[in-house]
Structure 1
Amino acid sequence: MAHQQLNHEEERILLQPIKAQGPSAGKLKSSMLSASFNFINSIIGSGIIGLPYALNQAGLPFGLLLLVVVGFITDYTIILLIKGGNLSGTNSYQALVQSTFGLPGFFILSALQFLYPFIAMISYNITTGDTLTKVFQRIPGVGPSHILAERRFVISVITLLFTLPLSLYRNIKQLGKVSFLSMVLTLTVLIIVIIRSATLGPEIPPTDDAWPFAKINAIQAVGVMSFAFICHHNSFLIYGSLQEPTLSNWTRVTHVSVGSALVISAVFAVAGYATFTGYTQGDIFENYCGDDNLATFGRFCFGLSIITTFPLECFVTREVLSNVMCKRDLSRTEHAAMTFVIVAVCTAISVVYDCLGVVLELNGALSATPLIFILPSACYLKLSPGRWFHPHNLAPCVLIGLGLFFMITGLTMTGVFQQDCSHGREMFYCTDSNVSSTLSP
């Protein structure tokens, strides 16, 4: 009987449009295509650059399997999250958790939902500083000691000229075209990585442990993958922007967005790892030689893509703070002030700390894993009319257990097995004559 009640309830939710409330109400609405662009763009951020390193940690076959599993879990829990919101009559991740677990759950979720995009913005700045400084050094007259080769200066200027102005937009729909541009740039980077896998990869001797099925650091790889795929903090924001926010429309948007991101991520990860095998670093562009013009163009495209992704995370960070502090629409002055403080703090941290791999692993285990695995499943189980161990609720129960395991183990291993963090140091194969001839135009 409980199973039948659950099916009837889900059928009602699937067909019923939900009216937007709160900060999103009354704003311009997005088409499903525009929402998909925003969603894909929120998934494919700086995290994708660490996926080849994740395969280096996990082993290529097992790492690729883990990537597919994380993609499927992401798709499942995004839909589960919106189902829980509709079952509880809430229209935000925070409101859902508060209605389910009370004020303690609200504050825990708010902390996680703030922490993830905030740390993500820091990683975006780190990536921008790493990639664009190498691009500028290819300009005649710009050497390692030039101000354009100084990552702190580049991050500060990019923030003032681009990321801060874009982050000041009040409506996420206004970033639809910017998100499409970011997707085109990311696909360009993907093509470059594939080309270099075919042309540069054969010239670099593989390491002795290049092709095992699995490696001991696979748990850390899950953290990097979770960071790359987390988009739950954006889900209600993008769902509420749909012209017809029904669960059926949202399911299609989710399948298209996560499926596209999974294909792009898998190809990027395999091509990047196959090129450098055991030498693969946390930032894949650190593996390419400084005089590689094609890689330099890829750095430029990826840096520009990251700049256009930054505002999406700022939207979420600002929304969380406004919900906790104000619980109403911000005035223009409050909106501008809060945006400035968020961007300024992110910039200050990113110019001081610059190890991207550790940031990806830490953010994945600390905030992405509970946001993907634990909280959506726990909320749905609490709201579901069936028993927890009913077959219909078995998957959410398993996901809670996996999430706790990956979170605790990932944080422990990140502290014990810290990666070597280096910037601007040429790899040994860059001085090889065969490699140099491969990179020549």
Structure 2
Amino acid sequence: MLKNDANYSVQTGSEYEPIGEESRPLLEQRVQARGASFWSSAFNLMNAIMGSGILGLSYAMANTGIIGFSILLLAVSSLAVYSIHLLLLLCDKTGINSYEALGERAFNRPGKILVACTILIQNIGAMSTYLFILKSEMPAAITGFMSSETTGKWFENDVTLLILVTLIVVLPLALLPKIGFLGYTSSLAFIFMLFFTVVVVVKKWSIPCPLPINSTVNLSLNTSECTPQMFVISSKSAYAVPTMAFSFLCHTAVLPIYCELHRPTKQRMQNVTNVSIFLSFVVYMISALFGYLTFYTHVESELLLGYDTYLPRDVLVMSVRLAILLAVLLTVPLIHFPARKAMLMLCRGEREFSWLSHTLSCFFILTLVLLLAIFVPDIRNVFGVVGSTTSTCLLFVYPGMFYLRISSEPIRSLNSAGAVILMAIGLVVGVLSLCVIIISWVQGS
């Protein structure tokens, strides 16, 4: 159980232990001795932020317009920064550095269970989308570098490849007990994302507009499709905000990264957050804009699939596909850490590290994620449902709700008013987006 406000919490192994006020100086010496640098922490957070979400943002722009998308992306990123600001304020006030423990502090054990379940569901949804990308891109990535005579080979089976990659690459990294062990690969994953963005910009001029979709149709009739739309409102626009919320969600990794930061202060971690979200915003905006300006209304819900039709054997496109696959591979174990931690907090009460429970929970989560990745037919389904429910809760609702519950500030104070607004936005966005998505599914079927 948690102690009073003066107590502190530190990560040991893969769990969190409460530390008394009298041990705080010793704790600070320990953290500083093994803490991560500013940029290492920033790359870790950017790796937690950026993943398969970047592939769905061009589709979101096609269904909201350039200006509409820019306003929404700026609003969501700003709200993400502010919600992390509230979480860090609560950490400063209570000495707690675990999202689940904040839920317990606010609403006792039911709050802890609620947060742990939300984190588990959200991260399982996120990992399933990442593995979905691996399943859809791996066969093309491998066969693209081989001769056209290779047909019917085992590596062209997407399910077989997905299972092998999960067992050989993802599982060993996911079995590591500490999130800090994954920090060395985060800067490499960010470089892969930058490479993806550069290729999207360069290839905008390699695909003609109007798109040669049907050679029997006079292409001059489709020149209106080459005019970018500033504002678009349709039923598909409901996917935009959940996809953005999904793309900026890093809250489950913020506090573990804060734990391992060298000289961990609220302001220092806030600066890490600001830099990470700003750089992610720039990469998201550029890749979404040029992806949209390449395909316009014909953008696929997973951007790279669009290049297969018009640039099937382009070396840069094949290379960027491999880069995205590597970035996704490096991100899956990172978000597996908070999912496993949430499952262990739900299933067992003791805090001692156990390799048995650690390994069993890892195998269970990865098996479930594999099944979702294999049987979910469209990545928008995961983006929409997960983004409109768990992501909006973790990004908007919970930080505001916990701040109002734990903080002693009056309701008219600036932070309390911001917490109320954050909760209201999260509830409205989550409910309306989920309703419209369900209606569009019903109408489509």
Q: TM-score range by the shorter chain?
A: 0.7 to 0.9
Q: Report what 1:103 is aligned to.
A: 109
Separation of aligned partners in 1, 2:171 and 2:362: 8
Q: Report what 2:405 is aligned to.
A: 382
Choose from 280, 283, 302 the match for 1:261. Answer: 280
Separation of aligned partners in 1, 2:298 and 2:230: 15
The answer to whether 1:230 aligns with 2:249 is: yes
Query: Any residues of structure 2 matched to 1:311-322 within 5 Å, and which?
Result: 311-322=333-344
Q: CA offset at residue 308 of structure 1?
A: 0.6
- Distance 1:276-1:383 versus aligned 2 partners, 3 A rule: same
The answer to whether 1:32 aligns with 2:38 is: yes
- Distance 1:66-1:341 versus aligned 2 partners, 3 A rule: same
Contact 1:207 1:277 in 2 (8 A): yes
Identical-residue share of aligned pairs (%): 24
AA matched with 2:316:
L
- Distance 1:71-1:201 versus aligned 2 partners, 3 A rule: farther
Contact 2:97 2:255 in 1 (8 A): yes
Q: CA offset at residue 325 of structure 1?
A: 2.1
Choose from 173, 186, 194 the match for 1:187. Answer: 194
Q: Report what 1:151 is aligned to.
A: 158
Q: Report what 1:404 is aligned to.
A: 427
Give a deviation string over 1:404-437, Cα, whole Å, max 9, x none.
Answer: 111111111111224999xxxxxxxxxxxxxxxx
Separation of aligned partners in 2, 1:144 and 1:185: 29
Q: CA offset at residue 393 of structure 1?
A: 2.2
Separation of aligned partners in 1, 2:59 and 2:442: 10
Runs of 4+, deviation exceeding 6 Å:
none
Gap regions ≥5 residues in structure 1: 1-12, 422-441
Separation of aligned partners in 1, 2:168 and 2:441: 34
AA matched with 2:337:
F
Q: Report what 1:8 is aligned to.
A: none
Separation of aligned partners in 2, 1:362 and 1:277: 25
Contact 2:226 2:296 in 1 (8 A): no
Separation of aligned partners in 2, 1:399 and 1:362: 20
Q: Report what 1:307 is aligned to.
A: 329
Contact 1:24 1:240 in 2 (8 A): no
Query: Any residues of structure 2 matched to 1:338-349 within 5 Å, and which?
Result: 338-349=361-372
Separation of aligned partners in 2, 1:40 and 1:382: 29
Separation of aligned partners in 1, 2:438 and 2:150: 36
Separation of aligned partners in 1, 2:443 and 2:167: 31
Q: Report what 1:323 is aligned to.
A: 345
Q: Report what 2:20 is aligned to.
A: none
Q: Report what 1:113 is aligned to.
A: 119
Contact 1:122 1:347 in 2 (8 A): yes
- Distance 1:124-1:89 versus aligned 2 partners, 3 A rule: same
Q: Report what 1:176 is aligned to.
A: 183
Contact 1:36 1:253 in 2 (8 A): yes
- Distance 1:395-1:163 versus aligned 2 partners, 3 A rule: same
The answer to whether 1:41 aligns with 2:47 is: yes
Query: Any residues of structure 2 matched to 1:197-216 within 5 Å, and which?
Result: 197-200=204-207, 202=209, 204=211, 207=225, 210-216=228-234
Separation of aligned partners in 2, 1:91 and 1:397: 22
Contact 2:209 2:226 in 1 (8 A): no
| Of 358-367 and 379-388, the range deviating more from structure 2 | 379-388
Separation of aligned partners in 2, 1:361 and 1:303: 22
Length-normalised TM-score, structure 1: 0.87
Choose from 84, 90, 101 the match for 1:84. Answer: 90
| Of 36-45 and 243-252, the range deviating more from structure 2 | 243-252
Choose from 240, 248, 266 the match for 1:221. Answer: 240
Separation of aligned partners in 1, 2:193 and 2:95: 37
Q: CA offset at residue 198 of structure 1?
A: 2.9
Separation of aligned partners in 2, 1:184 and 1:18: 36
Q: How many residues end up aligned between the 2 structures?
A: 407
Give a deviation string over 1:234-291, Cα, whole Å, max 9, x none.
Answer: 1111111112221011111111111111111111111111111110111001111223
Choose from 168, 171, 182 the match for 1:164. Answer: 171
Contact 1:226 1:364 in 2 (8 A): yes
Give a deviation string over 1:347-402, Cα, whole Å, max 9, x none.
Answer: 12212223112111111101101111111011112223233233442222111111
Contact 1:81 1:376 in 2 (8 A): yes
- Distance 1:240-1:381 versus aligned 2 partners, 3 A rule: same
